[in-house]
Structure 1
Amino acid sequence: MPFPEPAGPPTATVPPTQCPAHTGALGAQRIYGPEARKPHALYERLRKEHGQVAPVLLPGEVPAWFVLGHRENLEVMRTPSLWSCDSRIWNVQLTGDSPLLPITAWQPLLVFADGEEHARLRAAVTDSLARFNRHGVRRYVVRYTHQLVDGFAKAGRADLVSDFAEKLPILVLARQFGIAEEDALPLGAAVRDMVKGTPTALQSNTYVVGIMSELLKRKKGKPGDDLASWLLSHESGLTDDEVVEHLRHAIVAAHENTTNLVANTLKMVLTDRRFRASLSGGSMTLPDALEQVMWDAPPLAVGACRWARQDIRLGEQDIKAGDMVMLGLAAGNVDPEIRPDLTAPVHGNRAHLAFSSGPHECPGQDIGRAIADTGIDTLLARLPDVQLDDTGDEVQVTSSLVSSRLNNLPARFTPHSAGPRNHLLGEPAVAASAQPLPQATPAAEPVASVATSPGTRSSWWSGLFRRRTH
C-alpha cells in the first residue's frame, strides 16, 4: 500500500535516537536521495553486502532494517506475534518535521493495528468490500474506458498515463465509494499529487480528507449501496473518525496501486515485443500479463513497516526489540533464491509479494485486478494498432525505493470516431457521449485555503522520488 500523509498533525517532537545495532561497523546504507534512483542495483548491493536483511539509514539518518529476501518477507508478514504494526513501540523518536512521519506516525487504521483491534477494523473493511458487485464493477470499467478513449480517439495520439491510467481507477472507485462522478477526477488528481510529493501535497491531503468528511455526513443522512454506507453500518462499530480515515486510506491505496498496475502493464504491452507477440498470439492471457507485471514491476515496491516485539534473528541479522523493518516487496520478487532466472516467465504464479501476505494482505486486490484487466482489454480492443509514439516525448519514470511510477506513456494509433458505447449497461450511445467527464484539477478553494496556513511542510516523498528518463 502507498503511504499517504497522516490526516492529523505530527506529534513526535524528540530527535531521533540511533539504535545500538546500527553502528558504522555494520555499514548501514543510505537508501534515500541518489541511492534510491536505481532500486534494483541497490537491492543487489545490499544483498551482496548483508544477505537477505540489510541495515539501512532513512532520511535524518534514522536506522531501520530492509528485508530483501522473499522468504524473510513472508516470515515477517505472517507472524504478527513477533512483528507488530503499531509504530508506538518503535525505539526511535522523530522530530515534528521528520519526512518519515507519513509512513510511521500511528493512525486509527487497520494498517497500524494488531490483534483484536486489527480484527475489528479489518472485518469492517473486508465485509464492506465483499459487498461490491463484481460484475457491476466490470461494467463500469467498460463504460468509463469507452468514455476515456472517446476523448482522444479522433486525435490518433494519447498519453496513456495521464489520459487513461490515472483516470480510469478513480472513476470506477468513486462510484463504489459513493462519491459523486463530478468529484471523481478532481479527487484522483489530489491523490496523485499527495503521493508524488509535490509542494502542494499537504493541501491535496486536506482536500481528500474534506471529500471523505462530506461523504460521511451525506451517507449518515442518506445511506446507499456503497462503501461509505457499509462501513458506517457495520457491526464493528467504527467511529466517524475511523470511517473517514479508512475511506481516505482505501481511496489512496486503491487508486495509486491500480493506476501503477494499469500503467506498468500498458508500458510492457507497448515496449516489449515478446510480450506483445505472446499476448496477441494467444499464449499469454491478459491476467497472465498482469501477474508478470506484479512480479517485475509491482505497483508498490515497499510495503507497510513492522516493528520487532522482541529481540529476534531475521536472515543473518540480530534485530532488537522496537527496531523497524521495511518490507521489500519488489526486492523479494527478484530474490535469486526463488527467481534465479529473471527472464523466465511466471505465468499463473501468484507467489509474488505485490499484495503482501498474512493478516495484512491487501483486502481489495481482486477489485484492482478487475479494473486493470477489463480496462486494458477494452482499450486494446478499441485501439488494436496502438503503439509507443517514439516521435515525441520519451517515456519517463520516477524511480525510488518506494515505487517506480510511470509519468507518461505517449502512444499513437489510427484515428477514429467514437466507437461502441456502454452496451453492457444498456445505455444508448448518444446519452453516454453527451456526458463529458469532469476536469481532473482539484477544486481551487480547498487547496488555496490551506496553502497559506501555518506549519505547511513538504511531503517526505519529495525527498525520496527523483525523476529519470528511460
Structure 2
Amino acid sequence: MTTPTDGTAIPADAPPPQCPAHTGMRAARQPMYGPEAATPYALYERMRREHGQVAPVLLPGDVPAWFVLGHRENLDVMRTPASWSCDSRNWNVRLPPDSPLLPLTAWQPLLVFADGQEHARLREAVVDSLGKIDRHSIRRYVVRYANQLIDSFAHTGRADLVTDFAEKLSALVMARQMGVRESDALPLGAAVRDMVKGSETALQSNDLLVSIMSDLVERKKADPGPDLASHFLDHGSNLSDQEVMEHLRHAIVAAHENTTNLMANALLMVLTDRRFRASLSGGSLTLPDALEQVMWDAPPLSVGAFRFARRDIELGGQLVRAGDMVLLGLAAGNADPKIRPDLHLPAPGNRSHLAFSAGPHECPGQDIGRAISETAIDTLLTRLPDLDLAVAESELDFSTSLVSTRLNSVPVRFAPRRGRPAAQESPTHAQPLPAVASPAAEPAATAPARRSWWQRFLGRR
C-alpha cells in the first residue's frame, strides 16, 4: 500500500480520499479498462477528439488519473523531473490492499521510483553495469539459442513464434547475461510472463522470481563473473544486497517482457504487413528499419511509467493538481496526428518514437533489446524463409493490460526440415549447452550466413 510522504499511518479499512478536482469530473472520465480498452487506438482517437492531448481517465477500481496522448506533452513530462516525480509516495490517492494497481504503483527502492540524487546514484550503477556487457557475446548467444530452438520444431513444419521461439529465446539470453543458471532460465521467463499477465498464480510467480534472484546475488558474492549481477555487486555506488536483487528482478521483468513483445510484433509485421514486404522488396527498408517501425506502430509497452505532479500545472490544456497521477501514453503519443498525419506511411530511420521513453528515465538497455530481436529474427528467417501465418490474422490471440497489448500466439507453418543445412552444422549446436560457458570460446561458425533472406521470403510471395 502506498503511504503519505509525512509517514503517518493509514487505517487498513480507510477509503481512498477524494481529491476535489477528481470528484466533480469522475463521470466524465474514460475508463482505461473493460471492453473498449481492448481496442486502444480507437480509444486514443476518441479521447483525443473529446479532450485534446491530455484526457481524464479512470483506472481499475475507478481510480482517477490523467492520460497523456500527445507526443510533445509526453516528452514534456519525461524531460522535466522538476515538475513530475516518479515517487509514488507523492500520489494524492491511497489504494485499498486488494487493488490490482498496487504491484505497479507501490513504492520500491528502485531506479524507476527514484528522483534526484537517489535516481542519479542508482542509474549510474545500472548504466555502468549494462555498459560492461559484451554486445558481441549477446549476438553469439542469440544465434546459438535461436538455432537450438529452431532445431526443436523445424522437423514438424509448424510452430508458435511466441511460445516456441520469442519467449524462450528472450529468457535464455537475458538469464545468461544476468548470471542466472541456465536450468533456471525458462522457468524464470515463464514466471515473468505469468506475473505480468496478472494471473491467479502471479504472486507465486513473483515468489519464484525473488527466490532465483536472491540466490543469484548470494552465488555471485562468492563467485563473481562477467555478468550483470556481478557488475552490480562490484559497482562503486555500493548497492545493498536488497537493491541488487530488486534491480535484477526489475531488469529481467522489463527486458524479458519488452524483448518478447518486440520480437513477436516484428515477426507479425514480417508475415502480414504489406508496407514491410513492399519496402523490403524495393530495397528501401532493412530489418533494423522494420524494428523501428514496430516501435512506432506497436511498441512493446503501450503505457510507460507513471508520474506524479509536484505542483498544480497545466498540461495539454488540462489543469493537473499537485499529487495527481499521469500515465505516459507511449503508443498514443506515437500515433499523434500532429507528428504522424498518415499512420500508414513508414518512418524508416526515424527514432523519435516514445517506445523507450526519454529524458533522465530513458530505458538504459534499449540497444540490448534491439540486438536480441534483430539477430533472432534474422536467424529465424534465414533458416525458415517460407514461414506463413497458420491462421487468419483476425484469429490471432491478443491480451490487453493497463500497460501493454501482448501477442499471445503467432502460429506459423513451413516446409518441414529433416536436418540443418551442412553449412550451418557445428558441434556447438549439436551439443547441449554447458551450465557455464565463455562466449569468447565459441567458434565463428555459430554466426548465420549473411544472405538476403528477405529476398527469398518476398520472392516466394
TM-score by length of 1: 0.87
User: Which secondary structure does the structure 1 equivalent of 2:20 belong to?
Assistant: coil
Paired position in structure 2 for 1:243: 244
User: Which secondary structure does the structure 1 equivalent of 2:56 belong to?
Assistant: strand
Paired position in structure 2 for 1:16: 16
User: Which secondary structure does the structure 2 equivalent of 1:93 belong to?
Assistant: coil
Paired position in structure 2 for 1:163: 164
Structure-to-structure mapping, 1:64-83, within 5 angstroms: 64-83=65-84
Letter in 2 for 1:35: E
Deviation at 1:98, TM superposition (A): 1.1
Q: C-alpha deviations, 1:150-179, integer Å up to 9, x for none?
A: 011111111111110111111111111001
Paired position in structure 1 for 2:432: 435
Paired position in structure 2 for 1:128: 129
Paired position in structure 1 for 2:441: none
Whether contact under 8 Å (2:293, 2:346) holds in the other structure is: yes
Whether contact under 8 Å (1:13, 1:93) holds in the other structure is: no
Q: Distance in 1 between matches of 2:226 and 2:172?
A: 17
Structure-to-structure mapping, 1:267-416, within 5 angstroms: 267-390=268-391, 394-416=395-417
User: Which secondary structure does the structure 1 equivalent of 2:57 belong to?
Assistant: strand
Structure-to-structure mapping, 1:36-75, within 5 angstroms: 36-75=37-76
Deviation at 1:24, TM superposition (A): 4.1
Deviation at 1:432, TM superposition (A): 2.7
Cα gap change, 1:412 to 1:277, in 2 (>3 Å)? farther
1:98 matched to 2:99? The reply is yes
User: Which secondary structure does the structure 2 equivalent of 1:397 belong to?
Assistant: strand
Whether contact under 8 Å (2:275, 2:346) holds in the other structure is: no
Deviation at 1:274, TM superposition (A): 3.5
Number of aligned pairs? 425
Whether contact under 8 Å (1:67, 1:325) holds in the other structure is: yes
Cα gap change, 1:11 to 1:422, in 2 (>3 Å)? farther
Q: Distance in 1 between matches of 2:423 and 2:21?
A: 59
Structure-to-structure mapping, 1:440-455, within 5 angstroms: none
User: Which secondary structure does the structure 2 equivalent of 1:246 belong to?
Assistant: helix
Whether contact under 8 Å (1:212, 1:247) holds in the other structure is: yes
Q: Distance in 1 between matches of 2:179 and 2:432?
A: 19
Letter in 1 for 2:19: C
In structure 2, the gaps of 5 or more residues are 1-9, 436-461
Deviation at 1:278, TM superposition (A): 2.6
Cα gap change, 1:300 to 1:39, in 2 (>3 Å)? same
Q: Distance in 2 between matches of 1:118 and 1:11?
A: 30
Paired position in structure 2 for 1:444: none
Stretch moving more, 401-410 or 99-108: 401-410
Q: Distance in 1 between matches of 2:320 and 2:225?
A: 48
Paired position in structure 1 for 2:220: 219
User: Which secondary structure does the structure 2 equivalent of 1:268 belong to?
Assistant: helix
Q: Distance in 2 between matches of 1:412 and 1:74?
A: 42
Letter in 1 for 2:58: L
Deviation at 1:281, TM superposition (A): 4.3
Q: Distance in 2 between matches of 1:392 and 1:319?
A: 41
Whether contact under 8 Å (2:147, 2:429) holds in the other structure is: no
Deviation at 1:58, TM superposition (A): 1.1
Letter in 2 for 1:137: I
Cα gap change, 1:18 to 1:291, in 2 (>3 Å)? same
Whether contact under 8 Å (1:145, 1:168) holds in the other structure is: yes
Cα gap change, 1:276 to 1:201, in 2 (>3 Å)? same
Q: Distance in 2 between matches of 1:11 and 1:298?
A: 40
Q: Distance in 2 between matches of 1:102 and 1:335?
A: 29
Paired position in structure 2 for 1:454: none
Cα gap change, 1:437 to 1:150, in 2 (>3 Å)? farther
Whether contact under 8 Å (1:156, 1:416) holds in the other structure is: yes
Q: Give me the identity figure in percent.
A: 70
Whether contact under 8 Å (1:150, 1:417) holds in the other structure is: no
Q: Distance in 2 between matches of 1:149 and 1:334?
A: 35
User: Which secondary structure does the structure 2 equivalent of 1:303 belong to?
Assistant: strand
**For the aligned residues, what is the CA RMSD?**
2.1
Cα gap change, 1:188 to 1:13, in 2 (>3 Å)? farther
Q: C-alpha deviations, 1:82-112, integer Å up to 9, x for none?
A: 0000111111111111111111100000000
User: Which secondary structure does the structure 2 equivalent of 1:304 belong to?
Assistant: strand
Whether contact under 8 Å (1:397, 1:405) holds in the other structure is: yes
Paired position in structure 2 for 1:465: none
Q: C-alpha deviations, 1:336-366, integer Å up to 9, x for none?
A: 1111100111110000000000000000000
Whether contact under 8 Å (1:51, 1:315) holds in the other structure is: yes
Q: Distance in 2 between matches of 1:317 and 1:391?
A: 42
User: Which secondary structure does the structure 2 equivalent of 1:55 belong to?
Assistant: strand
Deviation at 1:434, TM superposition (A): 3.4
Letter in 1 for 2:229: A
In structure 1, the gaps of 5 or more residues are 1-9, 439-470
Deviation at 1:436, TM superposition (A): 7.6
Q: Distance in 1 between matches of 2:232 and 2:392?
A: 48
Cα gap change, 1:268 to 1:391, in 2 (>3 Å)? closer
Whether contact under 8 Å (2:86, 2:307) holds in the other structure is: yes
User: Which secondary structure does the structure 1 equivalent of 2:155 belong to?
Assistant: helix
Cα gap change, 1:420 to 1:188, in 2 (>3 Å)? farther
User: Which secondary structure does the structure 2 equivalent of 1:167 belong to?
Assistant: helix
Q: Distance in 2 between matches of 1:350 and 1:14?
A: 46
TM-score by length of 2: 0.89
